[in-house]
Structure 1
């Protein structure tokens, strides 16, 4: 039979003359149903008349049965068939609508699918290994079923029953119908339409025609529609030229283009999905195991992606949140208008600061950095810089470090000390900064050391936290338990501590990975005097009809920490005198004219370097390091790495702002101020180094220190300092 090709704006497929006949018949099918019903009623009346008398008992039964039949058919027609599209509408479906992402002031950051870039290609031009990869991962029984997979339906029913999730179970034919002919909502009614239309499409078109339409119709992420455009977008070449490794990566995208995109916020998921596709090809005996192994090892070269996207890490972060809330189809095809909390002007300034500062510390083997700015009271994200340069493919610039897992170093210590203060310790409690060794079953004994390699003797909790001494922090953790710190971290905002058996006493030194976004919530809890406020990057979402959608209302503040306790931690972190022993009095941690609470963190292996600090109105988290986890220079520290960036961002944020101070909580049980001896933690006496300390009522010391004992301590301290000077002098000769 001679083929005749019809070219339309969406798909290209051959149309045979018998299909036109079937189409005409199909357009009268539903009307024909009612002709049959009417004819059936007439026939039923005649049957009743022919029944022998008395027929009083049979007539009502027949009428009831027929009435139920009419009701079922009529209901099915009214609910499902009355507005069912025709399969031939595949060439005429309405273009999808773009989703626009705006900053808080109305500046357009990015438009998803503003245009459906599509380059049509015939099925015979698509390489066999790409067809095989697609069929293996999407529909391995494509050439055996009639448009609907029984296994897929059962799996879909299971999801509906147990999770009310109407996704899954779709054949390639169903995906074609769903994307081209139906609306994206997830309802049982739409699923029925999908099943009926899929069978009709199979009646009208052969398998190769359906597969060809699918390859020209399906979305591969972003504006790339169709296999040819996807190949051009991701690899800069035709689909005819892709190898097995590239084909497997592309074939894995349609299931969730946002999640598996190599240009997304986590490109490692694209590799994970590619391996899934290759494994399925082996299982289906479409390729040999050795071919799959070689394809997995192959380094895929992606085409550069220079677009007009603003704040790309943030935009992709928001898109992921939208997809989780509303589903990928609505986000990518529903014409949403999304107003975010981002301040585009501030975003540009923060991005420039990160890029400039990282360039200046390249000598310390620091190649990347990230920054996150929030309003701790509302959780709004004002700026999100996920890397030094989003377009730097050599250093994985598209990885969003603000949502990646990194070790926080000492920046996590406030969580540990929150447990201590809850358990009865005070800011004046004395902790011995002296050598200690812990026996760890199954491991080597653990002997923590301080960052400066020194011992500082008896220090107050305030001094230990402010100067970030490691040994006192480990001793506190050993006293109250790793489990309690894990629980406290989760309460304050950490979402990644899900394997407590992995964590030991190094937890307080940053031994467990966290996200920058989580750290913003933790420190925001301190800034809010114990009220946890989750991050809120999305302010408003409207659909294509202008209707405001729900799902991103601000979460109410959650009181997770005693306000007095939260203030004590803030007061310690904002005390420049207390931290002067380690950081001096003129460090980057001080912002002239403003009181800021701040904490640094550097991992022992020099792979991560943090600074987190806040006022009551703004909070900034900064990280520097290397994406490949290579260590920074041994001279890199919180002061030389992340702190200069944090300092400049805070200067920018607080410029022209009135000076503000952290004030103790009011109402309820107020803190009390008591003069104490910093050497003993007791009430101050004559001759002791005294300081006014805050206490939660009932925890203040009741006994004063003794002058004679203080004189002895001061003499011992002076003698030790003289010995240290002598040793230092000898070591430098």
Structure 2
């Protein structure tokens, strides 16, 4: 028994020794494998240096900046409409000249733990950024004020993992070199607030025509919300209503962090903000529409500082003519309480925009910059051709098909019957399709949609480019009379 056990152990020992010797012989016969293991750490350091540390800018350069090149927007004849970024207009001010309410608003919306972290916020900001990156397959925000300062002043706008690592390293470095108040001061003097306004002092002058010292809570909360997306949240941009929503969010955050009371927040929301009139821009609604599209495609930094030269389809002569015409017609209708108007002129063959008037006066307060041509509106009878075109395409009708324009009601499940009427309150008997469309009769149009089905018209509208009409279950037969919402530009 013992002999058997001893023999078994001896056999296992011989096998183990044999395997060790074999492995050793392999290493000896293939020395490059051993060298690879030794060189791997050095290779990682070498690669890291070239990817991350090579040409890493010094935080000492934070007081320096390069003047970016403007993006110019021209009309179809090469006439300048606007410099999206004419020059980097910056007036640095010490932190002592910046009101406490401005600092509090900025910290509340951008980085509430600014005075507690050391450059990055792994619990709140970085974790959110990592999760968003994994789930959406793109790098997201989550940056502290220090990181944003580094991005704005020292790094390129590209969104890559390598740049994010460089940003984190530099944020730590900045925190070692500068006290918190100095970092906040540099941030408020460096970040973009839209267009030519870089820094809080220039932003106060651009939007309100005053010094930063004179800003009140309502104005400070509006400005504090701009740096995250200056084009999107600009009160002078294509969506001024978003500036108001962003301001409310800033006030809510300030209230949560006990900087202001609930009453102060409500008073600031209700306070009417008087903006400084912007000049030096032609066809402003169109320019902001173009800028928004450029930002969507290339990003804020490229558009504001990349020196793009953008030739558009706009005809400036026609633009100025229709702008004056709209203003004159609205003035004539004042007694009827008509206060606004908009117009879009396009080239039917290509869809090119020749003129765009989003409101009677872009610079009028409080909502002159709101662009009606890009907003959702009911199209009325202008959508009827989509319905009739579908019937012709399906060969259900021809231009000569007769429709009975008589009193007609359509059954609605669990709802009263739908009984459309014509705009003139009359019935016109038997009419051909071409006459029904030409005279915009409602009853024949509803009958045409009944034959086409709402589902098929929604699909046809989408094929035409009317992508705001999507879910067929939301619409009924009134869709052909303008029951959905579309954008004029579509």
Under a length normalisation based on structure 1, what TM-score does the superposition of the two structures give? 0.60
1:369 maps onto 2:341 in alignment:
yes
Matched length? 461
Distance 1:366 1:412 in 2: 24
Q: Please, which runs of 5 or more residues in structure 2 have no aligned partner?
A: 1-26
Partner of 1:647: none
CA distance in 2, matches of 1:256, 1:472: 48
Q: Which residue of 2 aligns with 1:432?
A: 404
Question: Aligned match of 1:293 in 236, 247, 266?
Answer: 266
More off after superposition, 284-293 vs 224-233 = 284-293
Task: Give me the whole-angstrom Cα distance separating, in 1, the residues matched to 2:238 and 2:72.
Answer: 18
- Find the aligned partners of 1:465 and 1:488 in 2 and give their Cα distance: 18
Deviates more, 1:66-75 or 1:359-368: 359-368
Say if 2:371 is the partner of 1:400: yes
Q: What residue number does 2:350 align with?
A: 378
Contact 1:133 1:281 in 2 (8 A): yes
Q: Tell me the CA shift for residue 124 of structure 1.
A: 2.5
Q: How far 1:340 sits from its partner (Å)?
A: 1.4
Which digits, 9 at most, give the CA deviation of each residue in 1:348-401, with x for residues without a partner?
Answer: 22322332333334344433222222233333222222222222326x321112
Partner of 2:381: 410
Are positions 1:495 and 2:467 aligned together? yes
* Aligned residue number for residue 648 of structure 1: none
Q: What is the CA distance between 1:145 and its match in structure 2? A: 1.7
Unaligned residue ranges in structure 1 (runs of 5+): 1-54, 519-733
Q: 2: distance between equivalents of 1:177 and 1:448?
A: 62
Larger RCO, structures 1/2 (Cα 8 Å, 6+ apart)? 2
Contact 2:119 2:175 in 1 (8 A): yes
Alignment partner of 1:373: what SS? Answer: strand
- Partner residue of 2:222? 249
Out of 268, 281, 300, the position equivalent to 1:309 is 281
Identify which of 455, 478, 485 aligns with 1:483.
455
1:389 aligned partner? 361
- Matches of 1:314 and 1:165 in 2, distance apart? 30
Query: Which of 141, 152, 169 matches 1:196?
Result: 169
Contact 1:185 1:330 in 2 (8 A): no
Task: Output the CA distance in 2 between the equivalents of 1:440 and 1:289.
Answer: 48
1:323 matches 2:295: yes
- Asked if 2 retains the 8 angstrom alpha-carbon contact of 1:130 and 1:248, the reply is yes
Could you say which residue in structure 1 is the equivalent of 2:392? 421
Q: Aligned pair 1:163/2:168, yes or no?
A: no
1:624-663 Cα offsets, whole Å, 9 max, x none, are xxxxxxxxxxxxxxxxxxxxxxxxxxxxxxxxxxxxxxxx
2:438 is equivalent to residue 462 of structure 1: no
Query: Counterpart of 2:194?
Result: 221
Q: Which moved more, 1:62-71 or 1:405-414?
A: 62-71
CA distance in 2, matches of 1:137, 1:497: 35
Does the 8 A contact of 2:67 with 2:87 survive in 1? Answer: no
Check the 8 A contact 1:172/1:214 in 2, yes or no: yes
Q: Describe the SS at the equivalent of 1:416.
A: helix
Which of 310, 320, 345 pairs up with 2:317? Answer: 345
Deviation, 1:159, is: 3.8
Alignment partner, residue 140 of structure 1: 112
Alignment partners' CA distance in 2, 1:170 and 1:333: 21
Please report how far the alpha carbon of residue 450 of structure 1 lies from its aligned counterpart in structure 2 after TM superposition.
0.8
CA distance in 2, matches of 1:493, 1:258: 25
Secondary structure of the corresponding residue to residue 393 of structure 1: coil
Gap change, CA 1:108 and 1:229, over 3 Å in 2: same
Tell me the CA shift for residue 505 of structure 1.
2.2
Where is the helix percentage greater, Structure 1 or Structure 2? 2
Q: Aligned runs of 1:14-53 on 2, under 5 Å?
A: none
Which residue pairs with 2:160 in the alignment? 187
Q: Which moved more, 1:460-469 or 1:285-294?
A: 285-294
The 3-state SS of whatever aligns with 1:255 is coil
RMSD of the alignment, in Å? 2.3
Instruction: Choose 68-77 or 127-136, whichever is displaced more.
Output: 127-136
Q: Deviations over 1:298-335 (max 9, x none)?
A: 32222222x11111111101100000000111111222
CA distance in 1, matches of 2:311, 2:164: 32
Distance 2:373 2:194 in 1: 23
Per the normalisation by structure 2, the TM-score is 0.88
